[in-house]
Amino acid sequence: MNIGVKQGAEEGKPFIHYVNYLAEQGFIPPNGRGWVDHIRKKGNEATHEIALMSKEDCEDLIAFSEMLMKFI
């Protein structure tokens, strides 16, 4: 959400709105949409469930988030 708003998206929208906005504006690499959707799903799980993620999931999410921020 923060990255989307920083890039011009309207505030107060559902998270999927920001995923779509970033994709439509070209901020997500062409084959990166699946990664962003993965982050969205894992974030949703972490928000609505009390369960620890695996180390592999955490490392994947951190790595992609880092690449997205470098790309932008």
Encode pLDDT of 6-46 as tens digits.
Answer: 999 999 998 889 888 988 998 887 777 787 777 778 777 76
Query: Token pair for residue 5?
Result: 């708003």
pLDDT per position as a tens digit, 46-65: 666 777 778 888 888 888 88
